[in-house]
A and B are shown apart, each in its own frame.
Chain A
Amino acid sequence: MRNRSVPLREVHVWEMPVRVYHWINALCITTLCVTGYLIGDPLALMNGTEAYFNYWFGTVRFIHFISAFLFFFNFIFRLYWGFTGNEFSRWYNYIPLKRCQWKEMLDVIKVDVLQVTNKKIDSIGHNSLASFIYFITFLIFLLQCLTGFGMYAAMSNAFLPKLFAWVVPFLGGDMNVRQIHHILMWAFILFAMVHMYLVFYHDYIERRGVTSSMIGGWKFIEEDVIERHDNKSEDCPKKL
């Protein structure tokens, strides 16, 4: 039997709301990308028939809009949770305002991206680089919501989409808005690819159970890392 003797401790990193947010988000993004791509480049599924027999494209768009609303409210909830959740989900992890966050980013690039050293990254939640990337994805979420609801506003009388009616004139017309919305879809796809790879990578290298942490919330963290973490002097993105 192969065994390993590093003393580990289980840490509850991702609370239930964060995990639920994550999976709803994953589901929404997948649905939105698939339906969004179809809306941009519809398949030639039907032919030789009359319009009143079908509504498949309308259904695709309907699914896209429903998912968009879900995505939007889920996103708003996550922003809220950034102010009430545990220390790993708080907003200050994601915005690199402290020197040590930038330093850790550099370390992560050296250790995990370029693999020139083997220093240990101490973060228990996201590391600083990951957090910063998530911050950028949040900005992309925001832009995607703005452009999406901006285009939607013209065909709705509902209160929420109407709040975005200024987006289209601001960006100079629907053509630009649609183009931005479409390009950003690819940012989501590329992010998802890299994101999934990195989860596997970290699990493979660090064996902290990062993959299952998004299911159960628990990570296996080395005792010495936890000690340093509790010794707040050394801990980096502690409250501002």
Chain B
Amino acid sequence: MENQRPSFYEEAIGKGVSRRDFLKFCATMAAFLGLEASGVSQIVKALESKPRLPVIWFHFQECTCCSESFIRASHPLVADIVLNKISLDYQETLMAASGVQAEDAYKAVMQKYPGEYIVMVEGSIPTENEAYCCIGGRSALQILQEAVKNCKAVVAWGNCASAGCVQAASPNPTGAKPVHKVISGKPVINVQGCPPIADVMAGVVVHLLTFDRIPQLDGLGRPKAFYSRRVHDTCYRRANFDAGLFVESFDDEGAKRGYCLYKMGCKGPVTYNACGIIKWNDSVSYPIQSGHPCIGCAEAGFWDNGPFYQHLPEVAGFGIETTADKIGVGLGVATAVGIAGHAIVTNIRKHKEIINEEPEAGSTVETKK
């Protein structure tokens, strides 16, 4: 089986998935990836003919919410085929093997498929002291660097692997760093979110398989197909924002009417994600639709830009709930007091100059051109 790797399609059919369901899955993925109509057949062809992707999936400093999200993708095929049944060569949480067998499994992948396998990482990597995260007696950093050496590409799942998430939030006791900060020389796809949307994760995997290259990324390494627009730009409450209709408190009339949650601290205007379009849990809803402001979980440092229910973030070093506006007003008052003081002192100390006029009032201001 390892030598003659079956394709996704063969595995799916073997698992009792109908051809119809397989095609539905391919069409869904093409839609999520924003491909044109011909893209569907490209995906079908790829999944039918290409051997499965060998994948090593690491868990470092994280909560496994990315895995949890992934197995809840809207189409069961993603979870069942892409992750659980086929691709999984090494995944600590879901694999049956443990101990030596588990270690052997991922070493086997590295040996058998050099330059072909994908390293997928959940979680950040401690750098303050590598011992904060060890698996099988080796540190996360060692494991990752070894695995990355011969991989094809790295997929950083979620905010931990993409930006450090909560572990990297101030004061970052473990010196947690995202994947792209500790490795170099390999393409890293940051699939942001805490967790990322399941269908986004599936979309990235399908893209890798179909086109044999990494998807187009934005300036922060996120796939453009899913992270090119703000949650705010695709929010169904956007009209209320432009109309200046805001929820002022969670129990007011505005909340009932579904006004914009901007003043409740919604981070939608500064967060790039596909929540407003793909949504969550088989496209049932997303936080804003449920009346809760976006907390900006797909952005680096969102924990340090809190509180979640306040529009302006706190300014570090000025105490709890001190925003730029409070500091600004304080400085403004101080400036006004300083100006008043200076004006008074001027009238006393510069009295002579202000009065300065000579008694022999003969000459006047000369004008020459």
Please tell me if the beta carbons of B302 and A175 are within 8 angstroms of each other in the complex. yes
Residues from chain A with a CB closer than 8 A to the CB of B368 are 9-10
Please tell me if the beta carbons of B242 and A57 are within 8 angstroms of each other in the complex. yes
Please tell me if the beta carbons of B354 and A205 are within 8 angstroms of each other in the complex. yes
Q: Which of B259-292 contact A (CB under 8 A)?
A: 262-263, 267, 269-272
Chain A minimum-CB-distance residue to B357: A4
Most buried by B among A43, A45, A173, A189: A173
Answer yes or no: A183 CB below 8 A from chain B CBs.
Answer: yes
Please tell me if the beta carbons of A197 and B339 are within 8 angstroms of each other in the complex. yes
Other-chain contact of A46, B245, B301, B313 (Cβ < 8 Å): B245
Residues from chain A with a CB closer than 8 A to the CB of B342 are 113, 197, 201
Q: How large is the interface on B (under 10, 10 to 19, 20 to 34, 35 or more residues)?
A: 35 or more
Please tell me if the beta carbons of B245 and A201 are within 8 angstroms of each other in the complex. no
Please tell me if the beta carbons of B367 and A10 are within 8 angstroms of each other in the complex. yes
Please tell me if the beta carbons of B350 and A186 are within 8 angstroms of each other in the complex. no
A207 to B336, CA, bound (A): 23
Residues from chain B with a CB closer than 8 A to the CB of A7 are 363, 366
A153 to B361, CA, bound (A): 63
Residues from chain A with a CB closer than 8 A to the CB of B272 are 154, 174
Please tell me if the beta carbons of A51 and B245 are within 8 angstroms of each other in the complex. yes
Q: B332-369 CB contact bits vs A (8 Å, 1 = yes)?
A: 10011001001101100110111011101111111111
Answer yes or no: B220 CB below 8 A from chain A CBs.
Answer: yes
Please tell me if the beta carbons of A175 and B219 are within 8 angstroms of each other in the complex. no
Please tell me if the beta carbons of B324 and A179 are within 8 angstroms of each other in the complex. yes
Please tell me if the beta carbons of B364 and A172 are within 8 angstroms of each other in the complex. no
Please tell me if the beta carbons of A9 and B327 are within 8 angstroms of each other in the complex. no
- B122 CB to closest chain A CB (Å) equals 21
- A139 CB to closest chain B CB (Å) equals 19
Answer yes or no: A73 CB below 8 A from chain B CBs.
Answer: no
Please tell me if the beta carbons of B233 and A155 are within 8 angstroms of each other in the complex. yes
Residues from chain B with a CB closer than 8 A to the CB of A220 are 365
User: Assuming A175-B305, A182-B312, is B246 touching A52 (CB within 8 A)?
Assistant: no
Q: List 17 extra interface pairs beyond A51-B240, A194-B335, CB under 8 A.
A: A3-B357, A5-B361, A40-B312, A41-B263, A49-B245, A51-B245, A54-B245, A55-B243, A55-B244, A115-B350, A118-B353, A169-B220, A178-B270, A190-B328, A197-B342, A204-B354, A223-B366
A-B contact pairs, 19 of them (CB 8 A): A5-B357, A5-B358, A5-B362, A5-B363, A9-B366, A10-B369, A41-B311, A45-B244, A52-B243, A55-B243, A57-B242, A58-B244, A154-B272, A169-B220, A175-B270, A175-B301, A175-B313, A193-B336, A204-B354
Which 3 pairs from chain A and chain B are nearest by CB?
A: A169-B219, A3-B361, A186-B328
